[in-house]
Chain A
Amino acid sequence: MRHFGRIAVHIIIVGVIIGTLLCAGLVSAASPTAIKFWGGWTGPDRFGMEKIVTNFIKENPDIRVQFFTAPWTEVFTKFGTTFGTSAGPDLLAMHVADISQFASRGMLLPVEDIAAQNKIQASDFPPSVWQGQFYKGRQYGIPLDYHPMAIYKNVDLFKKAGLDPNITFDSKEEFINALKKLTVKDSSGKIVQYGIAIGSNHPHTMRYWYSLLFQAGGSFLNESGTKAAFNSEAGVKALQFLHDLIYTYKVAPTHESDIDKDFLTGRVATLIEGPWWVPGIKEQKGLQATVAPFPKIFEKPAVWAGSHTLTLPKQANKKKLDAAIKLLNYIIAHSVDWGAAGQIPASKSVIASEAYKNLVDYKYYKTFIDQADTIRYEPLMVQNASFGSDNQMSPVLNAIFAVILNEKTPKEALDEAAEEVNAILE
């Protein structure tokens, strides 16, 4: 009798422990309209989006928004692993080049209706941005912004070198001469300041090359998008130029691992970055910078650009979906605020609006906007996830690193990468 009671107690304790353990996991926080909004902004622009979300919550006390941002590849990893569970995002930002990757898996909802409700029309956007929202004839994204690269110049260092800080670079010679003047040695002959930084393990390096590839008259894939075309003369020439900046002209440091910090601390005098860097530059005390279009090195101007878009992951919870759509509408309606955070609004009418033109930093943004006609996007196809500049394992990116690290010739490296891209495209 006594024994029996004790055994029962043991069993109950065990049961309770296992029970609570399971419950603790299964019952996650489920306030009726808590939604998750994920993005991959890690620069100063993230604070801009945080502000918009905070304002939205203030105006919509019935909706709780969890805003989460991390590097893009990590966000997509998370999106994949949480898809179909309550842990996944309800509103998700991505680059246009990523839409096909997720739309093809049926992970996104078509958004034509929402576009129509907000009077979002093709005519208000650059055609390339607009086309990027579609996969197999259905629209999956609401365009948010686009972001070409441009070159930032440290005003003080330019003045010290006897250069005009408002200079634009219109030829290879002009560019190299300026960088040479900006490369400074100390008394012992050691270089203490470089003209420019080219990251040896940074995705942006591929974007520099991508811009130059098109400047030299090349293209990334063939016209039908079935084969690599970048191992052309143009591609080699573009890559050779980046290599030469480091090893021939010696105006860029070798093994560069932190382009942003080096620019902020004055170790390098110029930096090629996107518009999201404008607020960051302004925050750095004692640093004055101007912006010029991406340097024109070869025949015609061209510059890499990406474009952010908002998508709705497929989900069963109608209430959350409605809340997510509400947030989406709000963000679109507050494009100017997003513009103030550094990204260039995709909508032509927003850019033309007085509110946008009155932004304090408009003078910087104008440089980016003026490049609109020369923009080149990465291919909008499923496979771009494998060889695009955001994938660390991308064969193209790594071929470029090989040259930047002086381990392969441009021709060798690009031929190899082309072979792998062809294999992926098959």
Chain B
Amino acid sequence: MRPFNREQAFRRVLLRALDSSLLFLAPYFVIFLLFKLGPIIANFLVSAYRLDIVGGGEFIGLKNYHHLLTDRLFWVALRNTLYYLVLVGPVVIIGGFLLALLLNQPLRGRAFARAAVFMPYVIMVTVVGALWRWILESRFGILNYYLGLLGIGPVYWLTSSSTAMIGIVIATVWWTIGYNTVIYLAGLQDVPRELIEAAEIDGAGPLRCLTQVIVPFLRPTTFFVVLTTVIYSLQVFGQVYTMTGGGPRYSTLTLVQHLYVTGFRLFNLGYSATISVVLFIVILVMSAGVFGFLRQNVE
């Protein structure tokens, strides 16, 4: 029997306290509660207030939501955001897949090509904006120069409201397509050789092999790619902020740009939060849509 030792007992208690799960959880959880979960919940509350950049707020119930209905710019922004998604989505998804197929061929120099295709993705958005403003410049831009050689143009990319969004889309495709390509490349690695060989023995040409073996096999990958593309496209901001500032004539005004201007230029924070609630809901609905659609297709 050990004699009772106060010091040792104290240490044991302390040790156990130090070893409890709570201490492992605490650091992240405190930050998570304060800076993630708290703001998510608070955002819904704020959207029910008239809240200015200075001073406290005033509870106004659903008035901010009512204002949404008559705010022309909100609808313009919503439409533009969806338009952007419709333009960018197919290109980076299908294009990413085709690029992955190409880069998966046993060709010399493909490692270099892979790196080249992915590299733009690590460049920061403001650099992408600056660079493409310069490339798309209507008089001295390099794109119009080459289009001119083909007898096209000049196209007033970012100064005309019919083409500004397309300019943004071109920049974005260059910037992000490598991301989807990499995901698809990883997926292609997992396609079992036997499956392809079996199909070939059945007499399937490369095209049938692609549509009947590879594409179905990659469905989970496609699901992931579509989901992330949708979610991130709906949040487009940096390119617009640096390339057009939402213009000309609101033609590139997106939801996040609208909530930024409303909240931090016009200081209407309550209404800005309302727009972000809508953004949140749109993302949720669209994700659920992707989820449902692709799942249905699997079954």
Minimum C-beta distance from A216 to chain B (A): 24
**B249: which A residues are within 8 A, CB to CB?**
398, 401-402, 405, 407
Give per-residue flags for A380-411: 1 if the beta carbon is below 8 A from chain B beta carbons, else 0. 00000110000111000010011001010000
CA distance A106 to B247 in the complex (A): 32
Interface residue B160 (Cβ < 8 Å from any Cβ of A): yes
Minimum C-beta distance from B263 to chain A (A): 9
**A255: which B residues are within 8 A, CB to CB?**
138, 156, 159-160
Interface residue B261 (Cβ < 8 Å from any Cβ of A): yes
Is A105 a contact partner of B265 (Cβ separation < 8 A)?
no
Minimum C-beta distance from A130 to chain B (A): 27
Q: Which of B11, B18, B245, B265 has the most CB of A within 10 A?
A: B265
Is B265 a contact partner of A7 (Cβ separation < 8 A)?
no
Interface residue A107 (Cβ < 8 Å from any Cβ of B): yes
CA distance A385 to B268 in the complex (A): 12
**A1: which B residues are within 8 A, CB to CB?**
11
Is B138 a contact partner of A4 (Cβ separation < 8 A)?
no
Closest to B162 in A: A407
Is A398 a contact partner of B250 (Cβ separation < 8 A)?
yes
* A62-112 CB contacts (< 8 Å) to partner B: 73, 76-77, 80-81, 83-84, 105-107
Interface residue B246 (Cβ < 8 Å from any Cβ of A): yes
Return the contact of A83 from the options B54, B247, B248 (Cβ within 8 A).
B54
Whether A201 contacts B53 in the complex (CB less than 8 A), given A80-B267, A255-B138, A392-B245, comes out as no
Minimum C-beta distance from A371 to chain B (A): 30
Is A77 a contact partner of B54 (Cβ separation < 8 A)?
no
Number of interface residues of A (CB under 8 A): 35
Is A420 a contact partner of B72 (Cβ separation < 8 A)?
yes
Give per-residue flags for B3-35: 1 if the beta carbon is below 8 A from chain A beta carbons, else 0. 000000001001100100000000100000000
**A177: which B residues are within 8 A, CB to CB?**
none
Whether A7 contacts B15 in the complex (CB less than 8 A), given A77-B265, A83-B54, comes out as yes
Is A200 a contact partner of B159 (Cβ separation < 8 A)?
yes
Interface residue A23 (Cβ < 8 Å from any Cβ of B): no
Interface residue A3 (Cβ < 8 Å from any Cβ of B): yes
Minimum C-beta distance from B50 to chain A (A): 13
Closest to B154 in A: A255
**B27: which A residues are within 8 A, CB to CB?**
14, 18
Interface residue A60 (Cβ < 8 Å from any Cβ of B): no
**A106: which B residues are within 8 A, CB to CB?**
54-55
Is B264 a contact partner of A77 (Cβ separation < 8 A)?
yes
Interface residue A423 (Cβ < 8 Å from any Cβ of B): yes
Return the contact of A391 from the options B158, B160, B248, B265 (Cβ within 8 A).
B265
Is B54 a contact partner of A105 (Cβ separation < 8 A)?
yes
Interface residue A11 (Cβ < 8 Å from any Cβ of B): yes
Is B247 a contact partner of A201 (Cβ separation < 8 A)?
yes
Minimum C-beta distance from B64 to chain A (A): 15
**A81: which B residues are within 8 A, CB to CB?**
53, 264
Is A4 a contact partner of B52 (Cβ separation < 8 A)?
no
CA distance A401 to B248 in the complex (A): 7
**B265: which A residues are within 8 A, CB to CB?**
73, 76-77, 80, 391, 393
Is A107 a contact partner of B54 (Cβ separation < 8 A)?
yes
**B73: which A residues are within 8 A, CB to CB?**
393
Is A84 a contact partner of B247 (Cβ separation < 8 A)?
no
CA distance A106 to B56 in the complex (A): 13
Return the contact of B138 from the options A257, A407, A420 (Cβ within 8 A).
A257
Minimum C-beta distance from B174 to chain A (A): 22
**B247: which A residues are within 8 A, CB to CB?**
201, 392, 398, 401
Closest to B73 in A: A393
Is A11 a contact partner of B54 (Cβ separation < 8 A)?
no
CA distance A76 to B246 in the complex (A): 18
Return the contact of B15 from the options A3, A84, A391, A423 (Cβ within 8 A).
A3
CA distance A4 to B249 in the complex (A): 66
* B156-181 CB contacts (< 8 Å) to partner A: 156, 158-161
Is A4 a contact partner of B53 (Cβ separation < 8 A)?
no
Closest to A102 in B: B54
CA distance A200 to B163 in the complex (A): 14
Is A393 a contact partner of B261 (Cβ separation < 8 A)?
yes
Minimum C-beta distance from B281 to chain A (A): 23
CA distance A18 to B249 in the complex (A): 47
Interface residue B297 (Cβ < 8 Å from any Cβ of A): no
**A385: which B residues are within 8 A, CB to CB?**
266
Interface residue B70 (Cβ < 8 Å from any Cβ of A): yes
Is B248 a contact partner of A405 (Cβ separation < 8 A)?
yes
Interface residue B46 (Cβ < 8 Å from any Cβ of A): no
Is B70 a contact partner of A423 (Cβ separation < 8 A)?
yes
Closest to B163 in A: A255
Return the contact of A200 from the options B52, B248, B267 (Cβ within 8 A).
B248
Interface residue B253 (Cβ < 8 Å from any Cβ of A): yes
CA distance A200 to B139 in the complex (A): 14
CA distance A254 to B73 in the complex (A): 26
Is A80 a contact partner of B53 (Cβ separation < 8 A)?
yes
**A254: which B residues are within 8 A, CB to CB?**
156
Is B72 a contact partner of A4 (Cβ separation < 8 A)?
no
Closest to A107 in B: B54
Give per-residue flags for A189-202: 1 if the beta carbon is below 8 A from chain B beta carbons, else 0. 00000000000110
Q: Which 3 A-B pairs have the closest CB atoms?
A: A255-B156, A80-B53, A255-B159
* Supplied contacts A4-B11, A80-B267, A105-B54, 15 more A-B pairs, CB within 8 Å: A4-B14, A7-B18, A80-B54, A81-B53, A105-B52, A106-B54, A107-B54, A201-B248, A255-B160, A257-B158, A391-B266, A393-B73, A393-B250, A393-B261, A401-B248
B-side interface residues toward A, CB under 8 Å?
11, 14-15, 18, 27, 52-55, 70, 72-73, 137-138, 156, 158-161, 245-250, 253, 261, 264-267
Q: List 6 A-B contacts (CB under 8 A).
A: A76-B265, A83-B54, A255-B138, A398-B249, A401-B248, A407-B249
